[in-house]
Structure 1
Amino acid sequence: MLPLPTCFAGLILAFAPLFVQRSWRHAQLLLTGAILTPGRRTVTSVLRIMGRAQERRFVNAHRILNRAAWCPRSGSRILLGLLIDAFAQRGPVVLGLDDMIERRRGKRIAAKGIYRDPVRSSDSHFVKASGLRWMSLMLLAPIPWARRIWALPFLTALVPSERACRERGRRHKPLLDVGRQLALQARRWLPGRDLVVVGDSGFSGLLFLDAMRRARITAITRLRLDAALYDPAPPRLPGTIGHPRTKGARPPTLAVTLAAKDTRWHAVVVPGRYGAGKRTIEIASGTAVWRHGGLPVVPIRWVLIRDPEARFPPQALLCTDPTREPAQIVGWFVRRWTVEVTFREVRAHLGVETQRQWSNTAIARTTPCLLALFSIVTLLAARLPARQRQRIAAAAWYSKPRPTFADALAAVRCAIWRERTLATSPRRPARTKPRFRLPAPWAYALVSPP
């Protein structure tokens, strides 16, 4: 086993209660190896980078993913606690909720389906992808040394396709149901904190929004410009018979309000998308109730957004807490763009979509672990000295003003390799100068394909 730096040991040992003693040794091997491995994140690649290429009992490492008895949900709770203590000790806890398509093929992958590929598709070009759909809940928190918001995954669930559920004789669970369960699980883990869940337009369902409101979770999503919004129901007069009213008069739609000349607009400065810098936008806000026949009535605050320079089309947001400030709602929603950055980073640097497990248990565990590895690397980088974690891998043709996740991963790898080099150095100098031999893990890391 590679010796770990002292500042890393406490954080890694926080996950030890999930496993028995024998399984914990192999789990720690996989965790450290997944950080150090370049390219594909297969179990065999982890064993090679850890110097276990000649290990005859290599199957023990595979059993951690496909057979060992440990609870990933308990690990998610431990990880959330570590993230809260490190990056969100005060104020509202802002969570991002989104789904991701992991492109996978194979007859043995039972939960896969055919979906629209959000990365390769556009408004005018539709691309299908065969793979697995995952729903991930992330902490949207500021990272001090990076000076920007990062989306840190801590709870990820598999959403099987309708065909897979039908073949197994199970009820298909839609994305909104899975997202509702993940958000309610976070509420049970953080009973005393103010929770804010930010999602895209796919989560603007009345059943989902009503569940968030009843659980004391503030939900922020996009809103259609032609949504059926109403004034609150007037007070019920004494002696009135029949069911109480649930809505009042219907005001003009948001599309009409957007084009009206008497709409009051306020200028607000918000961060740009994907770290593009600050920009000035104009917002208008109001309160209403959103109602549809047969569905719950949800009071909301709507926020209209337009760009004075017309760089993006006007859009509307909703918040299930009408008392929130419009500028704060927009600021929380802007954090959602970092979710897409995290999905891109885990594919590029943590090997998501390169794993090759076939059993149902290993598939359900591997991708959530790789997504959680993004958060674990961020926590490890936070424990490094400031000089090491702020080191930027810049070049003459590529200047970076701030460190990114790739720099944090490089800093954590350097700390682990440095600890191993110091631990294996001879205590007393040799009389003859030994011939240098490149260690097998280093050679594998240098020549392995990206």
Structure 2
Amino acid sequence: MSIIGAFTPVFSRRVWPHVQLLLIGAILTLGQRTVTAALRVLGLADEAQFVTYHRVLHRARWSNLHTSRILLRLLIHTFVPQGPLVLGLDDTIERRTGAKIKAQGIYRDPVRSSHSHFVKASGLRWLSLMLLVPIPWAQRVWALPFLTALTPSERFHQQRGRPHKKLTDWARQMLRQVQRWVPDRPLVVVADSAYTVIAWLHDLQQHRPIAVITRLRLDAALYEAAPERQAGQMGRPRLKGKRLPTLAARLADVSTTWQRVQVVRWYGEGSRTVEIASDTAVWYHTGLPPVSIRWVLIRDPLGKFAAQALLSTDVQLAPLQILEWFVQRWQLEVTFEEVRAHLGVETQRQWSDLAIARTTPVLLGLFSLITLLAHERWKDTEMWVRRAAWYDKTLPTFVDALAEVRRALWKVETFRTSPTADDLVQVPRSLVDRLTDALCYAA
């Protein structure tokens, strides 16, 4: 309750008790994350006023932004009390169909598609902002979602006569919102190539800059910085200087100076040695504003992956730091997979527009909340890691964190799980332990 109670100001006194039960039910439920499934696992299948719990999602007055702000503060206080905040930005498709789901669209399926094969998916597109933090007991970086927004397709806005907001527009709005929440902390954003957009990068450098790390094309037009304007010089100020060789040309140039570095964690693997070259430049395209960047060219000495390039809008960052932060972006994909496998994303069945806009962000935020709850539990108790003779697991994963929280909830009689009868059945403890283990680790 020290963690869950932080969200009390978001809800009214009438709604808050129902919210707590739905939250516990969502953690304990196996399979579909529906309101009725949460009520069943809490022993409330005979609750005549079950519609009251549905109203929490489609009618009650509470703010997603308010809950996101509280969750972010809890995460910062627990895992990153000082230093820059490294944020991961990515979108995902929730596969949903139905005539009443108004915001659904047709998108490229990022999981099933490849460079040569295009697969479409029907559903809802969500843009999620996650905090990349080191988890002490997991001994690795996790991506913890705290702010998620529904981003409808261009056709959706055209049919309703509204101006279309691109993913970059949503991303800029979300990042500026976070900057208002934590004005005293520098922000670093890690994103994929969909956000390698000059205008978007330039906008984030105005007023209070937000550093962005993303991919860069090998054929991008790079220039020297514009020369200083002389006194009395006529004409418009120059935006760029002399044209520089492309990164593809630098890659083929034998005179390029390479530095061999070791990345501690390379996309979920162990440490890996790569070679990098870096410098500063101005990225410019006709009709667009110039952006000062630090580029980092990466190649594998063993030739196992193709050469690639990164950019950082903070030119003061060290090249190795840019690479290490960008590699952490892989954790966003891990989180998306975890919430689908263990928290029931894509199994909810709400049709109301407001309920749809609330449920998926809540389930994504539940990943972060469970991480906080497990962290609080393991402060005073020994870590529980599920082992087997064929799987010598030493460090807990999210599955173990979820099982720890479930194990704690099953031991507390805070809800009705059986009829109030006084007849008792003796069950061997070994059987109870096996049943508890199966329940806690079930999806």
TM-score bin (small chain): over 0.9
Task: Give the deviation of 1:413 after TM superposition.
Answer: 0.4
Q: Matches of 2:439 and 2:322 in 1, distance apart? A: 47
Q: Matches of 1:279 and 1:188 in 2, distance apart? A: 37
Paired letter, 1:279: R
Task: Give the deviation of 1:389 after TM superposition.
Answer: 6.4
Task: Give the deviation of 1:388 after TM superposition.
Answer: 4.8
Deviates more, 1:411-420 or 1:384-393: 384-393
Structure 1 residue ranges without an equivalent (≥5)? 1-8
Which residue does 2:125 correspond to in 1? 133
- Contact 1:382–1:389 (CA under 8 A) maintained in structure 2: no
Q: Matches of 2:200 and 2:304 in 1, distance apart? A: 31
Highest RCO, 1 vs 2 (Cα 8 Å, sep ≥ 6): 1
Residue 428 of structure 2 corresponds to residue 435 of structure 1: no
Q: Matches of 1:352 and 1:101 in 2, distance apart? A: 10
Which residue does 1:390 correspond to in 2? 383
CA deviation vs aligned residue, 1:261-296 (integer Å, no higher than 9, x gap): 111111111134442111011110000011112211
Task: Give the deviation of 1:231 after TM superposition.
Answer: 0.3
CA deviation vs aligned residue, 1:24-53 (integer Å, no higher than 9, x gap): 011111111111111110011000011110
The structure-2 alpha-carbon separation of the partners of 1:118 and 1:388, relative to structure 1 and needing over 3 Å to count, comes to farther
Correspondences of 1:1-16 after superposition (within 5 Å): 9-16=1-8
Correspondences of 1:266-345 after superposition (within 5 Å): 266-345=259-338
- Contact 1:87–1:142 (CA under 8 A) maintained in structure 2: yes
CA RMSD of aligned residues (A): 2.5
Which residue does 1:234 correspond to in 2? 227
Q: Matches of 1:251 and 1:389 in 2, distance apart? A: 57
Deviates more, 1:50-59 or 1:160-169: 160-169
The structure-2 alpha-carbon separation of the partners of 1:95 and 1:389, relative to structure 1 and needing over 3 Å to count, comes to farther
Paired letter, 1:305: I
Residue 398 of structure 2 corresponds to residue 408 of structure 1: no
Q: Matches of 2:199 and 2:403 in 1, distance apart? A: 44
* SS of corresponding position for 2:77: helix
Work out which of the residue numbers 35, 46, 59 in structure 2 matches 1:54: 46
Q: Matches of 1:153 and 1:177 in 2, distance apart? A: 19
Structure 2 residue ranges without an equivalent (≥5)? none
Q: Matches of 1:32 and 1:421 in 2, distance apart? A: 10
Q: Matches of 1:422 and 1:357 in 2, distance apart? A: 25
Task: Give the deviation of 1:191 after TM superposition.
Answer: 0.5
Q: Matches of 1:184 and 1:216 in 2, distance apart? A: 10
Which residue does 1:253 correspond to in 2? 246
Q: Matches of 2:215 and 2:158 in 1, distance apart? A: 32
Q: Kindly, what percent of the aligned residue pairs are identical? A: 59
- Contact 2:129–2:146 (CA under 8 A) maintained in structure 1: yes
* SS of corresponding position for 1:383: helix
Deviates more, 1:385-394 or 1:142-151: 385-394
Which residue does 1:170 correspond to in 2? 162
Deviates more, 1:242-251 or 1:379-388: 379-388
Q: Matches of 1:436 and 1:29 in 2, distance apart? A: 29
Deviates more, 1:349-358 or 1:307-316: 307-316
Paired letter, 1:147: Q
The structure-2 alpha-carbon separation of the partners of 1:389 and 1:221, relative to structure 1 and needing over 3 Å to count, comes to farther
Paired letter, 2:243: R
- Contact 1:219–1:320 (CA under 8 A) maintained in structure 2: yes
Correspondences of 1:417-432 after superposition (within 5 Å): 417-420=410-413
CA deviation vs aligned residue, 1:197-241 (integer Å, no higher than 9, x gap): 000011111121112212321110000000011000111122211
Paired letter, 2:211: T
Normalised to the residue count of structure 1, the TM-score between the two structures is: 0.92
Q: Matches of 2:425 and 2:91 in 1, distance apart? A: 52
The structure-2 alpha-carbon separation of the partners of 1:280 and 1:259, relative to structure 1 and needing over 3 Å to count, comes to same
Q: Matches of 1:36 and 1:268 in 2, distance apart? A: 45
The structure-2 alpha-carbon separation of the partners of 1:92 and 1:125, relative to structure 1 and needing over 3 Å to count, comes to same
Task: Give the deviation of 1:398 after TM superposition.
Answer: 3.1
Residue 202 of structure 2 corresponds to residue 210 of structure 1: yes
* SS of corresponding position for 1:10: coil
The structure-2 alpha-carbon separation of the partners of 1:192 and 1:446, relative to structure 1 and needing over 3 Å to count, comes to closer
Normalised to the residue count of structure 2, the TM-score between the two structures is: 0.93
CA deviation vs aligned residue, 1:373-405 (integer Å, no higher than 9, x gap): 000000000101357563211223333332110
- Contact 2:8–2:16 (CA under 8 A) maintained in structure 1: yes
Paired letter, 1:435: V
